[in-house]
């Protein structure tokens, strides 16, 4: 079992619980809302989320042929370039207004596909990492204790994770989704 070596505890305006090297930062919006025992499952979930998120982003940028970046981003986009090049070669043979319609349709479809792939990796993956961290935290600190805290937060209309105002695309799971994930 691993223990946190926290020397400093602080309350700050933050979107989620942050565990730094020797500092634990708790969201100030939750100050006084939870009992001391309620923090344990939330901190466990946050520590596991940060661990797994860090592993994911390190793996994603390793640049090896087996890294998730290659399998889930580079490879699909590279393969989608083949039909794109073929379509461009066909479009260059057309004349008149049909040329512009086909040109726009081809690039719009490719950008839509690329946006779908990028969304899956950079928006939906962190969401699934949080849900997995909740499951692991439930195993280590007890499913009932984590569910109790999440239900308490839901009754209060709060969440330990808040949407980032600076990054609106970063979509964290809502409290009811996290509860459903554990039941």
Tell me the sheet residues that pair with 12.
Answer: 27
Q: What is the distance between the alpha carbons of residues 11 and 88, in angstroms, rounded to a whole number?
A: 56
Q: Does some domain include residue 1?
A: no
- Which residues of the chain register pLDDT less than 50? 1
pLDDT of residue 1: 47
Q: Is residue 74 part of a domain?
A: yes
Q: Does the residue 43 lie in any domain?
A: yes
Q: What is the pLDDT of residue 99?
A: 77
- What is the reported pLDDT for 6? 72
pTM over 0.75: no
Tell me whether residue 108 is in a domain: yes
Residue 7: count of CB within 10 angstroms of its CB = 9
In a domain, 164, yes or no: yes
The answer as to whether 73 is a domain residue is yes
**Domain assignment of residue 96, yes or no:** yes
Torsion of CA 50, 158, 181, 3, to 10 degrees: 40
Where do the H-state alpha helices sit in 26-95? 36-60, 68-69, 75-91
Question: Based on the structure, what is the number of domains in the chain?
Answer: 1
Q: Determine the structural domain holding residue 155 and report its residue range.
A: 8-182
């Amino acid at each position: 079992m691993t223990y946190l070596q926290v020397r400093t505890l602080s309350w700050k305006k933050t979107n989620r619980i942050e565990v730094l090297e020797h500092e634990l930062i708790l969201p100030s919006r939750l100050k006084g809302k939870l009992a001391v025992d309620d923090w344990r499952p939330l901190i466990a979930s946050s520590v596991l989320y940060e661990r797994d998120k860090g592993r994911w982003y390190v793996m994603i940028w390793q640049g090896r042929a087996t890294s998730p970046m290659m399998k889930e981003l580079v490879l699909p986009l590279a393969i989608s370039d083949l039909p794109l090049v073929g379509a461009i070669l066909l479009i260059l043979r057309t004349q008149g207004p049909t040329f512009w319609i086909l040109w726009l349709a081809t690039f719009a479809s490719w950008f839509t596909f690329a946006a779908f792939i990028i969304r899956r990796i950079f928006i939906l993956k962190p969401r699934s990492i949080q849900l997995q961290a909740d499951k692991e935290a439930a195993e280590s600190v007890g499913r009932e204790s984590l569910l109790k805290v999440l239900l308490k937060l839901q009754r209060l209309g709060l969440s330990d994770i808040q949407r980032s105002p600076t990054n609106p695309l970063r979509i964290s799971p809502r409290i009811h989704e996290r509860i459903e994930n554990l039941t």
